[in-house]
Amino acid sequence: MPTVKYPIPTQLFIHDKLVDSHSSERHSIYNPVDDSLFCDHVQYATAEDVDAAVDAATAAFNGPWRTYTAAQRGETLLDLAALLLAHKEELAWLDATPSGKPISAAIKEIEMGAGILKYYAGWTDKYAGESFPADDGFLKIVRHEPLGVTVSINPWNGPIVILCLKLGPALATGNVMIIKPSEKTPFGAIRLAELATSAGIVPPGVIQALPGAGATGALLASHMKVRKVSFTGSIATGRRIQQAAASSNLKRVTLELGGKSPAAIFEDCNFDNAIWWSTFAITHNSGQACYAASRLYVQENIADRFINAFTKAMSEKISQMGDPSNPDTQLGPLADKGQLSRVVSFFEHDDGKTRVLVGGKQHGDKGCYWEPTVLLNPKDDAQMYQEEIFGPVVCIKMFKDEADFLRMANDSEFGLMAGVFTQDINRAMRLSAALDSGVVGINCVSYINVQAPFGGSKQSGIGREMSHYALRSFTEPKTVLVNMTY
């Protein structure tokens, strides 16, 4: 077992304390670096635990939290941001160790999460309603009111930073939140809820954490007193959450789902810039990112030059794989044996039909490391070309012109992220309008910013996170009509 640097919280956090699950069952998590046991007594929330957490959240929403002014909610978010930074090494270790994320990247994500909370702290007293003149005898007022009990169902690939993308706008608009972290990375969320409540930053019940697998998420998604679920994860699970929401109380749902992001490399691009972004986009977090640019399309005139340079850059990334606890390590393993098996399955299904230029195999004789991989010209119906792999695997195809690129790029049920590398601004704007994608990067890709909305089209999701668009998804507009003539 790895050296335990901090206490590992394995219980549920409900109301104002850590409590045992109603189930006596305990679960194990293994370190993907060497398959060693990290923790063998993780608890999962049951229906009774979910009910207790929802009751505590309801009481908090209808109680002290509802009396907070907008300014007080802003101060709360600033205090939460400071709390993250004060405990960033602990929170980073708790989530990075069981998932194999390089500790340097995990700390950066904590810092990003703090920045997100600070951003939403600035919105609490600026998210204004509307009014319309009484020229017809009625004054029209629109208020934005909180939904109540909300739920965040989070993935394992960015546990704290993605949590902050949901927690920030939820608290800014006056909601309370129950966190359901991934069963692979539950510890940071539990500890954050405990710290925030014990420090008095939020009243008991405002932030709670219920670790568990899919069954726990299903209980929350179908609960009649939950008013909103924000989910980040797979399309299959997102579909089940939407169905559960519809069949229960028609709770609001935001779904940020998968991607198979295309990027076009035009002959007039800044070559070095295109190489850097293309490499970063598929190796960041070992390719375990929904917006990873996993389909590269290179214009024929520069195809040989680009492929040679890109394969060299990807080969160099292999030498940067190592122990995630080392601050110099840039690439860690995949999250666990299940994720490694998933990546392996794509190559077994392909049965050697696609040409592998770099990688394509497990790295080392232990752990869950997979080498950065470049695939050339997979068939259009190949599974590895059509489906999200969620690993450091990229497919390259060539194209002739804009129309050829668009045909291939839009031929997908995913529509989360896209990139266009060109120095022709007219071309860039034409393609940004024509691409079926929620986000389009010009001379960049696999990049997002809290000031602008993030989300996908097609099966990549419903709704938007970040910016003021996230505030909309955590509020209900209420129209007040005032008769000015009686």
Q: Which residues are catalytic?
A: 256
Task: Provide φ and ψ at 111, rounded to 5°.
Answer: -65, -40
The radius of gyration of the chain's CA atoms, rounded to the nearest angstrom, is 23
**Which residues, other chains included, contact 192 with Cβ-Cβ below 8 Å and sequence gap of 6+?**
83, 84, 91, 160, 163, 179, 207, 209
Q: Which two tokens stand for residue 228?
A: 């909103």
Local structure of 209: helix, strand or coil: strand
- DSSP β-ladder status, 475-483 and 138-146: antiparallel
Give 342-389 as a DSSP string.
HHHHHHHHHTT-SEEEE--SB-SSSSS-B--EEEES--TT-HHHHS--
Name residue 406's amino acid.
L
Q: What is the maximal distance between C-alpha atoms in the chain?
A: 82
Rounded CA-CA distance 277/408 in Å is 20
Rounded CA-CA distance 170/460 in Å is 22
Q: Which two tokens stand for residue 351?
A: 């049965």
Task: Provide φ and ψ at 218, rounded to 5°.
Answer: -65, -40
- Closest by alpha carbon to 223, among 243, 242, 251? 251
The answer to whether 251 touches 228, Cβ cutoff 8 Å, is yes
Q: Where are the beta strands (DSSP E) in 366-460?
A: 373-376, 393-399, 417-421, 439-442
Rounded CA-CA distance 50/47 in Å is 5
**Cα three-residue angle 333-281-322, rounded to 5 degrees:** 25
